[in-house]
Amino acid sequence: MLSKIKYVYFFLIFLFCFNSSFAQKTKNKVPSKYEIQGPYCNGLARVKMNKKWGFIDTTGGVVVPLKYDEVCNFSEGLAKVRIKKNGSSGGGWGLIDTKGQVIVKPMFDWIYDFENGKAKVKADGEEGYIDRNGNLVQ
């Protein structure tokens, strides 16, 4: 009995470790030409090439150009994007919509997730809240 359990255990490990499609099952079988491609969220996937990030749609078409230093997946139609600060010139975290339009210019040290229509933001040691349009709110 114990040997049968061992075989079943090893068989499951084998399936999990060696089935390359196990962790990557998607409906969209678009071959990726990117160094990194994330999962599709809100119909878009984040992609990285030459140290820059952007977003593609399910056909592989670029929706948001690869110009950001870091991006987060879309959630409720918005994605956090970051441009590194260069000395005294701008940079930081901002928000874009699913069409790539900048909703909040990248200027915050961090933007937390939205909750009840507001997101906590940090900039220069100060904290506040913004709405989904980037307006400061209480």
Residue 1 covered by a domain: no
Residue 29 covered by a domain: no
Residue 15 covered by a domain: no
- pLDDT score recorded for residue 15: 38
CA 59 from centre of chain: 18
Helix, strand or coil, per DSSP, at residue 117: coil
Residues spanned by the domain of 79: 34-137
pLDDT in tens, 41-88: 989 999 999 999 999 999 999 999 999 999 999 888 899 999 997 766
CA distance 130 to 85: 21
- pLDDT score recorded for residue 85: 79
**Number of alpha helices (DSSP H) and beta strands (DSSP E) in the chain:** 1, 12
In the chain, the number of structural domains is: 1
- pLDDT score recorded for residue 23: 37
Residue 41 covered by a domain: yes
Q: Which one, of 61, 15, 22, 20, lies nearest residue 40 by Cα?
A: 61
Residue 107 covered by a domain: yes
pTM of the predicted model, to two decimals?
0.73
pLDDT in tens, 92-135: 999 999 999 999 999 999 999 999 999 999 998 899 999 999 99
pLDDT at 1 over 90: no
Residue 100 covered by a domain: yes
Work out the pLDDT band at 24, boundaries 50, 70, 90: very low
